[in-house]
Structure 1
Amino acid sequence: MRSGWALAVLLSAWFMAQFDFFVVNVAAPSIERDLGAGPAALELIVGGYAFTYAAGMITCGRLGDRYGYRRMFVWGVAAFTVASVLCGVAATSAQLVAARLLQGLAGAAMVPQVLATISAAIPPRERARAIAWYGVAGGLGSIAGQVLGGLLLTSDVLGLGWRSVFLVNLPVGLVVVPLAARLLPRAETAPQARLDLPGAAGLAGGVALVLVPLGLGDSLGWPAWTWACLALAVPVVALTVRWQRVLAARGGRPVLDLALLKVHSYLAGVAAITAFMAYFASFMFTLTLLLQRGLGLDALQAGLAFAPMGVAFSVTSLLGARLVRSYGLAAVLFGGGVVALGLVLVLVAAGLGLSYVIAALVCVGLGNGLVLPQLIGAALVEVEPHQAGIGSGFLTTAQQFAGSGGVALIGAVFFAVAAGGHETAAMRWSAAIDLALILVVIAMVAYTGRRTGPARRGVPT
């Protein structure tokens, strides 16, 4: 990496992708009024982005391995910018759904190249700090989607309403594309090989068969087709994995590198991140509902309530790499304990008022910053440079899948308990489930530390 500017260019794309995932939650009421979007259309506007984003991640990671991370990143950012403009000028809900699907696919093209470039092109001594900044950018993008989204909608300086939350990506894209073409390095890529189209289709289909029913099932009352899709996902994924093994045995290059699943640190990292993201995404979702429905805040006030959590997250994300160098995975375990403490405080504070909730959020943010960036670094520490694209794609797919599943399942528990105005009790139930997930993360980190031994207890330094 030639300069810190190149890292900033990479992280701006990751920030945009996270921002656009969360900002639509804030803009949904305005979109509903302006375009006359019904419940199904709103579900697709919010969830369609998540679906194509997750479904394309592994394939686009492999394309980065084959054609170069810089090339895929530049084209991905350009496509994301165009798709954002199409979202901003959509005249009907159908046009907005189509543009959101395209936007998610473009995000899948650019995001795996971020971690891949960091893993393949940054020297090991500098990699931990870069991954820490990756954690900061992702966390701030998630929170900014609610804070800045609410601010854009409330101020409406240009009179664009909800369209501004999409069109704000245009100036960013116009700056990032030429800078990326100029500043990003040429990283090592895999030997040329034909793209595994059956494997790509199988993986995308398997993800679709899970994410679509999880995203739409609750609002539709879980009809029979949602359960059929979930059941069908199992044989589809099993057959796809079998095909990957057959293709590899023939000397081909499958879209999913199963050799990665034999790397203990990578597999453990993916599992831990899955549990963490299921907690984090559902926590952000249910807490927003508590703030707006239970405490009566508007969109901007609810968004601003997350700001202290974002500041706390940023501080500990930047300190985390240094603490891990000094104390190893014990620092991550401590962070997990802080998150658990924060969730216990949420259980207590949910019925005490906004100031108590914000205090609990600060505690959660401090712990999150110590945990998430270090999990990412630990997962990628033993991944070979030519596998960085597919490794990053699979890792991000796991994050997206876990986030969508967590929102769907824990959100369903929240709505079931909250019926009749019991939002405080519903938040306590969801926080209790989130606490269980964090305890799983802590247990897996401790297990990894015991398995890898003293020489491998940290993350890249």
Structure 2
Amino acid sequence: MSVLQTRTHPTTPTPPAPYPDRWRVLPVILSAMFMAMFDWFVVNVAASSLQHDLHAGQAALEMIIGGYGFAYASALITGGRLGDLYGYRTLFVLGMLSFGFASLLCGLASGAWMLVAFRILQGATAALMVPQLLALINTLFPVTERPRAMAAFGATIGLGAVSGQVLGGVLLDADLFGWGWRTIFYINVPIAAVAALLAARWLPAQRAPERPSLDPIGALGISTALAALLVPITVGRSTGWPLWTWVSAAASVPLLALVLRYERRLAARGGRPVLDTAMIRERVFGAGMVISGGYLAFFAGFMLCLTLLLQDGLHLTPLRAGLTFAPLGICFASSSLLLARRVAARFGNRVIVIGTLTSLTGTVLTLGVLLAAGPGITAWALVPGMMIVGLGNGMTIPSALGAVLSSGIRPEQAGMAAGALTTAQQFGNAVGATVIGTIFFSVLGTATATGDYVTAMAAATAAGLVILAVVLAAAWALPRHAA
């Protein structure tokens, strides 16, 4: 070839062909998110059964519900970095099998504190599989197809959470084989086995292009700092906020600051920290973490308090209470799959503002119904507001994640970024359920009348509005279009 020909027809790198089985494997990897969210919310429905069968006191019950959450949130960043190190398929399969085994142990538990220990193990194993999901979407799907995959991911978050309420009620009502509450854990075992088998067959053996080191100091330090904050948040209210909860929460702040300083210095020396502090200081990434964490904080608190109102205030069975959430779940999934991409195509990142305003509208409507109806409220009077909340959530959650993952995340950071984002979500879950739940119980006090539950729910809903206002401010901080 002549010099002229070389100059006339320059050689350009050919982008790698998309992974051919990406759409076939997507439902398999989404099953991890579904099960993780399902197991977070399903225990709310089974709370009374656990109290009766295992004689679980309030502190043990709080740990059964929250122990999973703080173990999950504390280990997510490490789980994401392990995927970068050892391969996303390897960690996904390992996490899925471990999650199935931990679920089996939960079902076999013979005492309340034994179940607490197995729930903590279950949360830690969920942290191995879930970050690989976002990393795989970011690496297997070309940029043009990523919004569709993220829409499915967003729908899965909503379906998993709502199914915890709906399917949990169905399973408890059916009482399969006389297993009672144990069924909600046993159901994970065959699903995990099938998902792990299909993932091992269909997923490519893929890891970050540049293999990072593990950074054990950063991994242990971040997990410890988050646990030091999440444990007292989880058990503080039920134990009367003893001194150790305040000491632990206060110590978490300087501990996390020290770890982040170490991570920053490690990066400056050319090392590979488990969390790149420069990444989280970026405008889009920082705003995305606030939006993701804030939205899940609102959603977790809203769902928990609604469950308490429906079951304890209106005396609905777990099945009837669960079915009340079905319209919300349908709207969440429909909005994620059908509305989010179309609105984003026209308005860019302003879809997150539109979605947040929609959720605010639904929350204001719910608050208005609570205040107007008072003790005479019915479950179905709450459904219209819940449906509008679902529509807003479905637009916002996948769009926020998509905005972050398309903002220049390098391939070798995919697992780290996914771990940080899902940590923000689950941290929001834990904080939202605790803070909004504390407001609910503080207003309720020792009262048991329906009207008192309605008043407590109104206060919790107002707190949710404050959280959504913070999310709205973060959404406005995003650039309208990706850079």
TM-score, structure 1 normalization: 0.95
Amino acid in structure 1 at the alignment position of 2:463:
I
Q: Residue 374 in 1 paired to residue 399 in 2?
A: yes
RMSD: 1.5
Q: Deviations over 1:396-445 (max 9, x none)?
A: 11111111111111111111111224111111111111112212222221
Alignment match of 2:201 (pick from 170, 182, 185) = 182
Matched residue of 1:124: which SS? coil
- Partner-residue secondary structure (3-state), 2:432: helix
The match for 1:297 is: 316
Task: Give the aligned partner of residue 340 of structure 1.
Answer: 360
1:346 to partner: Cα distance? 0.8
Corresponding position: 1:440 with 2:470: yes
1:307-338 CA distances to partner (integer Å, 9 max, x unpaired)? 00001111111121122112323333222221
Residue deviations 1:97-129 (CA, integer Å, cap 9, x gap): 222111111100000000010012210010001
Q: Which runs of 5+ in 1 are unaligned?
A: none
What are the within-5 Å matches in structure 2 for residues 48-447 of structure 1? 48-319=67-338, 320-350=340-370, 351=374, 352-382=377-407, 383-419=409-445, 420-421=447-448, 422-447=452-477
Q: Please say which of residues 133-142 and 180-189 is displaced more in the overlay.
A: 180-189
Deviation at 1:135, TM superposition (A): 0.7
> In structure 1, how many angstroms separate the alpha carbons of the residues matched to 2:75 and 2:352?
30
* Shift of residue 188, structure 1, vs aligned partner: 4.3
User: Is there any run of 5+ residues in structure 2 with no aligned partner, and where?
Assistant: 1-18
The whole-number CA distance in structure 1 between the counterparts of 2:110 and 2:298 is 36
Name the counterpart of 2:5: none
What is the distance in 2 between the residues matched to 1:332 and 1:92? 44
Name the CA distance, whole Å, in 2 between partners of 1:295 and 1:33.
20
- Looking at structure 1, the residues matched to 354 and 101 of structure 2 have their Cα atoms a distance apart, in angstroms, of 43
1:194, CA displacement in angstroms? 3.5
Deviation at 1:8, TM superposition (A): 0.4
| 1:59 positional shift | 0.6
Distance change (3 Å), C-alpha of 1:94 and 1:57: same
For residues 45 and 198 of structure 1, the distance between their equivalents in structure 2, rounded to whole angstroms, comes to: 29
Percent identity among equivalent residues? 46
Q: CA deviation at 1:170?
A: 1.3
CA distance in 1, matches of 2:112, 2:455: 35
SS in 2 for 1:220: coil
Q: CA deviation at 1:136?
A: 0.6
- One-letter code aligned to 2:454: T
Q: Select between 231-240 and 253-262 the one with higher mean Cα deviation.
A: 253-262
Q: After TM superposition, what 4+ stretches of structure 1 lie above 6 angstroms from structure 2? A: none
Instruction: Tell me how far 1:291 sits from its aligned partner.
Output: 1.2
State the distance in 1 between where 2:249 and 2:120 align: 21
Q: For the Cα contact (< 8 Å) 2:134–2:418, is it kept in 1?
A: yes
Does the Cα contact within 8 Å between 2:86 and 2:207 map onto a contact in 1?
no
Aligned with 2:61 (options 42, 46, 64): 42
Residue pair 2:102, 2:122 contacting (<8 A) in 1 also: yes
Residue type at the aligned position of 1:373: P
Q: Conserved in 2, the CA contact under 8 Å of 1:193 and 1:253? A: yes
Which segment is superposed worse, 72-81 or 201-210?
201-210
Contact map agreement 2:85 2:207 (CA 8 A) in 1: no
1:343-392 Cα shifts (integer Å, max 9, x gaps) = 11111112332222111111111111111111111121121111010101
Do the aligned residues in 2 keep the contact of 1:84 with 1:169 (CA within 8 Å)? yes
Please state how far the C-alpha of 1:48 moved relative to its aligned partner.
Answer: 1.2
Distance 1:27 1:354 in 2: 19
Asked whether the 8 Å contact 1:16–1:141 carries over to 2, the reply is yes
Aligned residue type for 1:126: E
**What amino acid maps onto 1:440 in structure 2?**
V
Matched letter for residue 341 of structure 2:
A
Does the 8 Å contact 1:265/1:381 carry over to 2?
A: no
SS of equivalent to 1:194 = coil
- Greater Cα shift, 182-191 or 214-223: 182-191
Distance 2:282 2:129 in 1: 25
Tell me whether 381-390 or 319-328 shows the greater mean CA deviation. Answer: 319-328
| Counterpart residue number, 2:16 | none
Segment of structure 1 superposing worse, 16-25 or 85-94: 85-94
Q: Secondary structure, in 3 states, of the residue corresponding to 2:177?
A: coil
Post-superposition CA distance 1:183-229 (Å, at most 9, x none): 11333415334321111111111111111110000001111111111
Would you say the 8 A contact 1:121–1:185 is kept in 2?
A: no
Equivalent AA in structure 2 for residue 36 of structure 1? H
Instruction: Decide whether the 8 Å contact of 2:96 with 2:193 is kept in 1.
Output: no
Over alpha carbons, which structure has the higher Rg?
A: 2
Deviation of 1:294 after TM superposition, in Å, equals: 2.0
Find the aligned partners of 1:119 and 1:249 in 2 and give their Cα distance. 26
Does structure 2 retain, via aligned residues, the 8 Å contact 1:279–1:406? yes
SS for the counterpart of 1:317 is helix
Question: Contact conserved, 1:121 with 1:187, CA < 8 A, in 2?
Answer: no
Find the aligned partners of 2:331 and 2:158 in 1 and give their Cα distance.
10
Separation in structure 1 between the aligned mates of residue 423 and residue 164 of structure 2, nearest angstrom: 20
Task: Tell me if the contact between 1:190 and 1:387 (Cα under 8 Å) persists in the aligned partners.
Answer: no
Deviation readout 1:29-60 (Å, 9 max, x if unpaired) = 21222222222222221111111111110011
Q: How many residues align?
A: 453
Name the structure 1 match of 2:23.
Answer: 4
Give yes or no for contact 2:211–2:412 (8 Å, CA) kept in 1: no
Distance 1:198-1:278 versus aligned 2 partners, 3 A rule? same
